[in-house]
Amino acid sequence: MQRWEQALAERHARGLYRQPRALEQRQGVNARLEGRDCLVFCSNDYLGLADHPEVAAALARAATTQGTGSGAAHLISGHHPEHDALERELAEAVGRPRALLFSTGYMANMGVINALTEPGDVIFEDALNHASLLDGGWLSRGRMQRYAHGDVAALDAAMAEASGPALIVTDAVFSMDGDLAPLAALSELSARRQALLVVDDAHGFGVLGDGAGTVAHFGLSAAEVPVYIGTLGKALGTFGAFVAGSETLIDYLVQRARTYIYTTAPPPALAAATRSALAVARRETWRRAHLAELVARFRTGAERLGLPLMASATPIQPLLVGDAARAMTLGARLLEAGYWVTPIRPPTVPAGTARLRITLCATHTPAQVDGLLEALSRCWDEGE
């Protein structure tokens, strides 16, 4: 107990203490947080589908007819027709023969890495990969090595010194920086080194590549990126994740992925809602177009104001602050001005790189983005 108390006290002293904040009400990007009305600029609901009426109606209908839970794991009695249909539609959306549903993105990443490695295998991971990918590597039966962020030459050199079967594992869009992995170069390297390339496209699926994701954005084939992982709780606004690939890959994961086998399947009503969200996302292409326009508008405005944005062409727009305490102060000032932007601090990001992680959604308006820019400029100058 004393050790825990000391650790908590240290986090408080360093400005690194974290706690959830209760969101009292939300309608699109408008929210009420702790009694204060605000605009949300820290959500992953990129296409604005989390409260789309068609999606909500699909969830309610299916819950009425199929209940609120699946009742068991997929391989016992928890696999329903809605799950089957969603897997087929997701596979078609990303151009793969099959897809497999997982309860969360964390479980998908850990389950895939664990299932695809044996003792003696080497797992090469980008240093800035999401925690779920890193945990998957550390907890697998293989040996994990991290390479410098986006440095394909460093990865190549490390692979030249390694022996045994290898996996290359990377995010497609890095969640805290918003930049893209060099997927074309990684694909070429994986082919040359006879390694298996695993890509987690949590923040690209539904947004990039006309909705098909970052792999499609780069024009890469299923053969060039054989293991594709997507998330349903971001652009599609629901919950869960999927892995897409060949018939053999999915069959193998059904047999070996412990986070698929040994957990309750997602509710079929949730699968029905996700099917609806996928249909809306594919039909209402204006959402992606408008989102891209907002990203460009925000970056142009931030550059004009001299704000130190990190390089990103995605809806994730990090404003580098550096000091964790200053990032917290800026976040508090923005909330007072009516804009909810969450400060991101170590250990989520490296020491000295605390930031405001601004995220844009298709349901923001140009005027709201301009208002955020004005508030950012004012709060930033006040903190100098």
Question: According to the annotation, is 231 in a ligand binding site?
Answer: yes
- 127 CB neighbour count, 10 Å cutoff: 13
Please compute, for residue 39, the number of CA atoms within 13 A of its CA located in the half-sphere on the CB side: 21
Q: Produce one character per residue of 72-105: b if its CB has 16 or more CB atoms within 10 Å, e if not.
A: ebbeeebbbebbeebbebbbebbebebbbbbbbb
Q: Is 21 helix (H, G, I), strand (E, B) or coil?
A: coil
Question: According to the annotation, is 52 in a ligand binding site?
Answer: no
Instruction: Give the helix/strand (H/E) hosting 84.
Output: helix 81-93
Instruction: Give the helix/strand (H/E) hosting 66.
Output: helix 53-66
| Mutual angle of helices 366-382 and 286-305, in 10-degree steps | 30
* 15 in Cβ contact with 328 (< 8 Å): yes
**Inter-CA distances, 215 with 30, 94, 183, Å:** 32, 9, 7
Q: Is 79 helix (H, G, I), strand (E, B) or coil?
A: coil
* 208 in Cβ contact with 173 (< 8 Å): yes
The two tokens of residue 269 are 């009503």
Place of tokens 């990443």: 109
DSSP string, 271-307: HHHHHHHHHHHHH-THHHHHHHHHHHHHHHHHHHHT-
Question: According to the annotation, is 175 in a ligand binding site?
Answer: yes
Question: According to the annotation, is 18 in a ligand binding site?
Answer: yes
Question: According to the annotation, is 105 in a ligand binding site?
Answer: yes
d(CA 239, CA 258): 19
- 243 forms bridges with which residues in the sheet? 100, 229
d(CA 71, CA 109): 24
From the annotation, which residues make up the binding site for pyridoxal 5'-phosphate? 105-106, 175, 203, 231
From the annotation, which residues make up the binding site for substrate? 18, 130, 348
From the annotation, which residues make up the binding site? 18, 105-106, 130, 175, 203, 231, 348
